């Protein structure tokens, strides 16, 4: 309990130090060969404890927070990232569906005693556990109209995020909570998302397509609009028909172009932001890639090698503080582990 309290205090202090956190999610979708790959930069204020988890099918879970925590049993196994051991910011399930939580300052979850509720830390995992495609997720979430519960860690400071969903056919959806209402946007054209609400992102998309003609027109800042503009421009230059390997390394190169370097400047809190890890998801071949920024190495987990059966154990491994630096195929590094408890 003391450890959890200390984590909550740390998160609260970090949130209090800055108003905008800038992450980026990029999706490549080839229409000719149906290759889909999605990448994400996680930008945060400090290096945090991170683990990679394998969750099997058949796990009975709870939303753990609010007046009416939703209960479910996982239909699909998944490989996910955990942050602070209180939540899942992203992952991919065995059907090639990926989910990503990104910061959104405009978020207001509202409060309802009548809706099924779920901790913000469990939101992404709920989607991975229950849905195989983006359309299934959209239909399910529209019907449920979940009440997202995020603790107020300091006055006026709580985790404010939205959910980005991409499936193995390249279909994309965005789920936001604005003024206490759930807003769902199914839009395959929005291949790049940062930390802008959907309407602003669409306006920026239209503006970029009209005004950015060459690299000399690109902004160089680290803010959401600048990152979006650069990522969208570079993504638009990728040819159709890239295979699994080329699509993954191409998305990786664009992620690097919108990353934030590890600069330490205590006088300017905005420079505390830095890219702390990158993930890549080959959603066609169901391979999860990860690179932490404290190591030059990438590792990967082919989901086809993981046992997601109902009888399988929950497993994980440490990306930060283990004695072994993960590199290459890490499917054998997973060890039996007790599941963490979601933020509440």
Using the predicted structure, report yes or no on whether residue 272 has a pLDDT greater than 70.
no
> What are the helix (H) ranges across the chain?
2-16, 123-130, 134-144, 198-211, 224-236, 244-257
The pair phi, psi for residue 104, each rounded to 5°, is -145, 105
Structure tokens at 306: 């993981």
Does the pLDDT value for residue 126 go beyond 50? yes
List, for residues 16-39, the tens digit of each pLDDT value. 445 556 799 999 999 999 999 999
- pLDDT bin (cut points 50, 70, 90) of residue 2 is very low
The model carries a pTM of 0.92
Q: How far apart are CA 254 and CA 191, in angstroms?
A: 13
Q: Does an H or E element contain 40, and which?
A: strand 36-44
- Alpha-carbon distance of 195 to 48, in angstroms, equals 20
pLDDT at 10 over 70: no
User: For all residues of the chain together, what is the average pLDDT?
Assistant: 89
Which domains are delineated in the chain? 2-336 (3.60.60.10)
């Amino acid at each position: 309990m003391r450890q959890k309290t200390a984590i909550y205090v740390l998160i609260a202090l970090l949130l209090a130090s800055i108003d905008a956190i800038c992450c980026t999610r990029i999706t490549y979708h080839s229409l000719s060969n149906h290759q889909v790959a999605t990448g994400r930069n996680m930008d945060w204020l400090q290096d945090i404890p991170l683990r990679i988890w394998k969750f099997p099918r058949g796990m009975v879970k709870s939303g753990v927070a609010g007046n009416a925590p939703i209960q479910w049993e996982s239909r699909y196994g998944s490989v996910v990232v955990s942050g602070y051991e209180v939540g899942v910011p992203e992952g991919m399930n065995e059907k090639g569906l990926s989910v990503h939580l990104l910061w959104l300052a405009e978020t207001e979850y509202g409060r309802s005693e009548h809706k099924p509720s779920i901790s913000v830390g469990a939101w992404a995992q709920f989607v991975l556990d229950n849905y195989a495609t983006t359309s299934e997720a959209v239909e399910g979430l529209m019907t449920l109209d979940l009440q997202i519960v995020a603790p107020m860690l300091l006055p006026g400071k709580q985790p404010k995020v939205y959910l980005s969903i991409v499936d193995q056919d390249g279909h994309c959806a965005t789920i936001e909570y604005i003024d206490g209402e759930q807003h769902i946007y199914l839009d395959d054209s929005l291949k790049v998302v940062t930390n802008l609400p959907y309407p602003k992102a669409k306006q920026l998309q239209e503006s970029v397509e009209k005004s950015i003609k060459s690299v000399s027109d690109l902004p160089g800042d680290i803010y959401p609009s600048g990152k979006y503009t650069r990522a969208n421009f570079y993504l638009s230059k990728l040819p159709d028909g890239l295979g699994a390997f080329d699509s993954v390394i191409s998305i990786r190169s664009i992620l690097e172009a919108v990353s934030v370097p590890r600069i330490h400047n205590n006088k300017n809190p905005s420079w505390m932001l830095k890219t702390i890890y990158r993930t890549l998801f080959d959603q066609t071949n169901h391979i999860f890639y990860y690179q932490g920024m404290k190591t030059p190495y990438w590792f990967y987990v082919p989901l086809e090698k993981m046992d997601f059966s109902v009888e399988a154990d929950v497993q994980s491994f440490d990306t930060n503080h283990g004695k072994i630096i993960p590199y290459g195929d890490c499917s054998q590094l997973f060890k039996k582990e007790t599941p963490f408890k979601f933020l509440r």
